[in-house]
Amino acid sequence: MDGNKKIVINKKSIIYIMAPANAFTGGPELLHQIAINIKKNFRVNTKMFYLPSDENEPIHKNFKKYNLEFTNFIEDDEKNILIIPEHFMFLKYSMKFKKIKKILWWLSIDNYFGYKFRFSYKKLVRSIIKIPYNLCGIFNKITNYYFGIFTFHDYLKLIYSFSNLKDFKELKQIDLHLSQSIYASNYLKKFFKNIKFLSDYQRQDILKNINKKRKEKKNIICYSHKSNKFIKKIENIYNFKMIKLSGLNTNQLINIYKKTKIYMDFGYHPGKDRMPREAVLFDNCILTNKKGSAKNKFDIPINEKYKFDENISNIEKINKTINKIFENYKSELKNFKNYKKTVLLEKNKFKKDLKKIFIKK
């Protein structure tokens, strides 16, 4: 399919969206977002299809608010459309259907390779393939991260860089690729022409809280649980007060965002991340590394002086940036005004982008 053409929805079409059963993370949230928007904007029969498909109650309690119908059967007909997340097992499962139009929504790049590696090889083979990576880890420690951190996601991308994505069986079946980030778009366009952009937007329980009375901001840093060991080195050297964002419900997360001045994320940024966008809505200054989607100026659109390579020579520079934010918080926060504005406009952009992808006839 040509990336310039739209996917046609007719009155008899059924749109199926695949999602993991009983899972509450950013990815499943996005899949429910696209389902409810397609249902409302195109007034078409839209159903969730959860894997594993044999669960009686596959809808997570936090997604019941969408009031979406779910099914454990997909009608394999050319008038119907199947939207698939980039999880390898979902792609593999979808190969049994031969007639339905298939759309792959790349919510991440790195996670696709992670899933593919995990489910394509047996444990022993995976262990053998990981030997060079483990040696790199030892080298990192010996050199005290002088050359930066080489993560397992970096390693997998390096391995798969010798492959052509067009040759992968699970990707040959796809009629249209949707990229959730510019990072994904830039990667995919090396292999495919049938690509369109579709990001996502903040959930309502976040948005409804951003204008409520704020707590007094303190010299505290919150950081993503996906951040690597480099962030712990910063914490240990300079003894900053830091809060790891892990295992929290939405209210707990919001209460932390409200009192912190900085959100730090030294993760691998597999897609356009949710947490930096949440944090900036609650007036946090954002510090990141330069991996994945954080490397470009579109997915995390902040000044380059707030992005750092993860090597030991940058630690003092990071320390100075943190202290500058703590001491001049209000003036520093102005540098994130446009990022916050962009996040607030995401829902409208999402709806416009959907209309560039689908047309109802």
188-200 pLDDT, tens digit per residue, is 999 999 999 999 9
Mean pLDDT of 26-36: 92
pLDDT at 87 over 90: yes
Contact 39, 67 (CB under 8 A): no
Would you state the structure tokens that stand for residue 262, as one six-digit string? 């900085």
Domain shared by 327 and 223, yes or no: yes
Question: What is residue 237's predicted lDDT score, i.e. its pLDDT?
Answer: 86
Domain shared by 104 and 233, yes or no: no
Query: Could you write out the DSSP letters of every residue in 172-207?
Result: HT-SEEEESSHHHHHHHTTT-S-EEE------HHHH
Residue 127 lies in a domain: no
Residue given tokens 């995401």 in the structure block: 346
Q: Provide the domain count of the chain.
A: 2
254-275 pLDDT, tens digit per residue, is 999 999 999 999 999 999 999 9
How does residue 343 score in pLDDT terms, banded at 50, 70 and 90? Answer: very high
Domain shared by 25 and 47, yes or no: yes
Q: 162-191: b or e for each residue (b if 16 or more CB lie within 10 Å)? A: eeebeebebbebbebbbbbbbbbbebbeee
119-139 pLDDT, tens digit per residue, is 999 999 999 999 999 998 888
Contact 91, 104 (CB under 8 A): yes
Contact 95, 166 (CB under 8 A): no
Mean pLDDT of 314-340: 96
Tell me what percent of the chain is helix, strand and coil, each rounded to the nearest 5: 45, 15, 40
Domain shared by 59 and 193, yes or no: yes
Work out the burial of residue 299: count CB atoms within 10 Å of its CB; fewer than 13 is exposed, 13-18 middle, 19 or more buried.
Answer: buried
Domain shared by 185 and 98, yes or no: yes
Owning domain of residue 49? 7-116+153-200
pLDDT at 4 over 60: yes
Residue given tokens 């090889």 in the structure block: 121
pLDDT at 54 over 80: no
Residue 126 lies in a domain: no
pLDDT at 2 over 60: no
pLDDT at 53 over 80: no
pLDDT at 79 over 60: yes
Of 361, 359, 360, 358, nearest to 83 by C-alpha is: 358
Element housing 226 (H / E): none
Residues 6+ apart with CB under 8 A from 183: 109, 269, 271, 272, 292, 293, 295, 296, 299
Domain shared by 50 and 172, yes or no: yes
Mean pLDDT of 213-221: 87
Task: Compute the mean pLDDT over every residue in the chain, rounded to the nearest whole number.
Answer: 92
Q: 111-144: b or e for each residue (b if 16 or more CB lie within 10 Å)? A: bbbbbbbeeeeeeeeeeeeeeebeebbeebeeee
Mean pLDDT of 37-41: 94
Q: How far is CA 315 from the centre of its chain?
A: 27
Question: What is residue 113's predicted lDDT score, i.e. its pLDDT?
Answer: 95
* CA–CA dist 79, 141 (Å, integer): 55
Q: Whole-prediction pTM value?
A: 0.92
